[in-house]
Amino acid sequence: MKADAELKVLALETFNRHLGSVETERFIALVQRERFDYTTWRKNLFVGISGEVISKRAMEFARERPENTN
Average pLDDT over residues 53-57: 93
pLDDT digits (tens, 9 = 90+) for 29-53: 988 888 878 888 888 888 999 999 9
Q: Residue 24 in contact with residue 16, Cβ under 8 Å?
A: yes
Q: What is the pTM of this model?
A: 0.51
53/17 Cα distance (integer angstroms):
26
